[in-house]
Structure 1
Amino acid sequence: MTITTKTTSRFGLVPQIILGIFCGVALASWSAEAGQAVAIFGALFVKALKAVAPILVFILVASSIANRKIGGADKMKPVLMLYLTGTFLAALTAVAASFLFPTTLVLAGTAEAVTPPEGIGQVIKTVLFQVVDNPINALLTGNFIGVLAWAIGLGLGLHHANKTTKQVFADVSHGISMLVTFIIKLAPIGIFGLVAETVATTGFAGLASYGQLLTVLVGCMLLIALVVNPALVYVTTRKNPYPLVFTCLRESGIPAFFTRSSAANIPVNMQLAEKLKLDEDTYSVSIPLGATINMAGAAITITVLTLATVHTLGIPVDFATAMLLSVVASICACGASGVAGGSLLLIPLACGLFGISSDVAMQVVAIGFIIGVIQDSCETALNSSTDVVFTAAVCQAKA
């Protein structure tokens, strides 16, 4: 038993997920009945995600706002503006790519009637009513917009609370994160069941749709890393941005690709900032801040997967609603840090704009975990390397 445990701990989550996908395909290819039989593992995994997601969003956002340090805002304004602008442009790029290369998914139970919004007015009305929903009801029903609104309000209210109260929220946030970490460790088993069920019921057509989805996601991230970010750096510094961009991708993006954690990559980014001889007073604040709110990759993930769901259900989307989705995805992305797969858990919030039920949205989250072997690694690499890119741009502009 001890040997098995040690071996499993050395066998990282990404290889386990790959093994789960392979085993699911192999089992369903050998016997469709066997594939259907293990579908319960996927259903339980989706159910666990659905149960933990609302409280996760509420506690993490409230704790983050309540424990944010006061002061030093003036020094961080240029970096903060780049963070927010880059995240919004990433969401906008994802919207454009989703319309140029529409993707549909294979979902179970999508025959239910979904009433599409009639336009931006109805969407805004729906959002406003979700915002003022009873907080307990929002948690129970998975109303993520309401959960986010109440979490922000509570966090602002506790911003000037005493240290003990703030520490309680920080400790609860840590506890919830540990619980989510445990659930994420079950992803290989859940994905094994989901893939087996998909292959058993639809053949390889379902997996083929994931390939197109992954292509759109990674394509958007490459466009941001190699075109949009360099453009923002050039506007800030009036210098050739590519030496800086490639340096950050090589020395920050590659480690982040394998660690799949912006928080874990903070020491790497600090060391790189020192190597680039940036202002310590700036990067000592901007790098940890970037690991929290600079989430271009997360904005892409939320937007692309949400619009893939919209296309699958045949819901029409006008330009104004697409712009609103970009704003919502940007805001969601800023709250996606701290937990592996955090951006995926905020997809139901964006799906709520289009009246998509939580059951359907959580199936999309599960699909996100299937492609997360590449998606989450690329997302983290983009997010983390961009922290140093934008910090360096501001420091070089000041020099």
Structure 2
Amino acid sequence: MDKKSIWKSYRFPIILVIGIVVGALLGVTLGEKATVLKPLGDIFLNLMFTIVVPMVFVSITTAVGNMVNMKRLGKILGNLVLTFIVTGLFAAALVLTVVNIWPPAANTSIQFANAEMAEAASVGDMIVNSLTVNDFSGLMSRSNMLPIIVFAIISGICVSACGGEESPVGKLLNNLNDIIFKIVGLIMKLAPIGLGAYFANLVGEFGPELIGDYGRSMLVYYPMCLVYVAVAFPAYAYFAGGTVGVKRMLKNIFSPAITAFATQSSVATIPVNMEACKKMGVPEDISNIVLPMGATMHMDGSVLSSIVKIAFLFGVFGQPFTGVGTYAMAIVVAILSAFVLSGAPGGGLVGEMLIVSLFGFPAEAFPLIATLGFLFDPAATCLNASGDAIASMMIARMVEGKEWLTKRIASGEVEA
């Protein structure tokens, strides 16, 4: 590739990285004074979060409503669940191996702060509240992403049953979908400035405290994330589309990965992921369903971070992190804690409360694990969100067959 083609292919992620690096340098230089830049970052995030609810609802309803064959929807959803579970188990197997070889709490000395924890809801209540809301107004909030997705799927099925994309509502939905993505395109032009300002504030406010007693956990977690990205992501992409799939993944994965790392929100990354999937060749009806659901259900990075946090707490409180029962419980709790994330920055606090509660750790464990959550969240969200795009490729292969990508390229549906 010559310089022009490299710039054309990677222009947006390069500009994003430059914006973030400049922001980080400003944060180091200005220190706490960098908070003056925080409003610029907040404006960008607020715009992204404002558009995400109508985007998720309309894109899923349109994708499902346009389907004449409901068997295809069932096939997409079935393979989606299978893909999310299998990739989550691979992530769990990796992290359980790593934390047993390199215990994250070894030689760590931590002073606990006094903290009071609110009473955690039961697992049953969390499942109900994750999937449903008790009032229609609850569907207007990004904190209820799974209920929005459930309602959108139901709405799409009913649109399909009443005429699909040729019906008046179907045509309206398709037009709304186009309009929303035009809005997303305009908002994304602000990304380099917004993310740079956001990062400047984070580094300025928390930079000096990012290592400390948590250094060993970070040395365990971040290299493990790199190993997962270097091994699992190409393997998944190869399964999805062979060498062509790997090349397309590598060419288009950086924008969602960088956006997720900087915003620490899978939901805020959905618009960027949509564009990346389109360039990767994933059919829109698949990506429009997989990406919003993946933002709250496909959490490989959060599974990795949650099990490291659990192993860390076991070590701090002098409990042996061994045994099949302990490992199984850790996997279940990690998946549950990831499942209740709202997709917003800081949403992991709910999952961390769940970890502390279900394992019976004392209340003092919460501020400890919350600090780890802050340190792990950028990489965890990066893996979660970029993994959603790769999962979309895998699901496309399972729904449309092994040669799905080469056929779409040959037919001209996707640029070669």
TM-score normalised to structure 2 length: 0.58
Identity %: 21
CA deviation string 1:105-150 (max 9, x = no partner): 4322499xxxxxxxxxxxxxxxxxxxxxxxxxxxx96443x44421
CA deviation string 1:320-346 (max 9, x = no partner): 212220122022212223221323541
The one-letter amino acid paired with 1:392 is M
Q: What displacement does 1:273 show?
A: 1.6
Determine the C-alpha separation between the residues in 1 that align with 2:361 and 2:95: 19
Give yes or no for the alignment of 1:348 onto 2:353: yes
Q: What displacement does 1:310 show?
A: 0.9
Determine the C-alpha separation between the residues in 2 that align with 1:73 and 1:258: 34
1:153/1:368 CA distance change after superposition, 3 Å? closer
- Pairing 1:274-293 to 2, within 5 Å after superposition: 274-293=278-297
The one-letter amino acid paired with 1:95 is L
**Matching residue of 2:126:** 151
1:240/1:319 CA distance change after superposition, 3 Å? farther
Q: What displacement does 1:388 show?
A: 1.0
- Pairing 1:248-287 to 2, within 5 Å after superposition: 248-287=252-291
**Matching residue of 1:54:** none
Q: What displacement does 1:235 show?
A: 4.5
Determine the C-alpha separation between the residues in 1 that align with 2:299 and 2:30: 27
1:187/1:247 CA distance change after superposition, 3 Å? closer
Determine the C-alpha separation between the residues in 2 that align with 1:263 and 1:173: 10
TM-score normalised to structure 1 length: 0.60
The one-letter amino acid paired with 2:334 is A
Determine the C-alpha separation between the residues in 2 that align with 1:325 and 1:154: 22
Give yes or no for the alignment of 1:166 onto 2:169: no
Q: What displacement does 1:237 show?
A: 5.0
Number of residue pairs aligned between Structure 1 and Structure 2: 289
Give yes or no for the alignment of 1:305 onto 2:275: no
Determine the C-alpha separation between the residues in 2 that align with 1:11 and 1:227: 26
Structure 2 gap ranges (5+): 1-18, 33-55, 65-69, 145-200, 405-416
Give yes or no for the alignment of 1:327 onto 2:332: yes
Q: What is the SS of the residue equivalent to 1:337?
A: coil
Q: What displacement does 1:316 show?
A: 1.3
CA RMSD of aligned residues (A): 4.0
Contact 1:265 1:384 in 2 (8 A): yes
Structure 1 gap ranges (5+): 1-9, 24-63, 112-139, 175-185, 196-205
**Matching residue of 1:339:** 344
Q: What is the SS of the residue equivalent to 1:328?
A: helix
The one-letter amino acid paired with 2:352 is I
1:107/1:89 CA distance change after superposition, 3 Å? same
**Matching residue of 1:394:** 395
The one-letter amino acid paired with 1:366 is T
**Matching residue of 1:183:** none
**Matching residue of 2:99:** 98
Determine the C-alpha separation between the residues in 2 that align with 1:395 and 1:155: 26
**Matching residue of 1:108:** 111
Determine the C-alpha separation between the residues in 1 that align with 2:377 and 2:238: 28
Q: What is the SS of the residue equivalent to 1:265?
A: helix
**Matching residue of 1:88:** 89
Determine the C-alpha separation between the residues in 2 that align with 1:171 and 1:231: 36
Determine the C-alpha separation between the residues in 1 that align with 2:91 and 2:382: 14
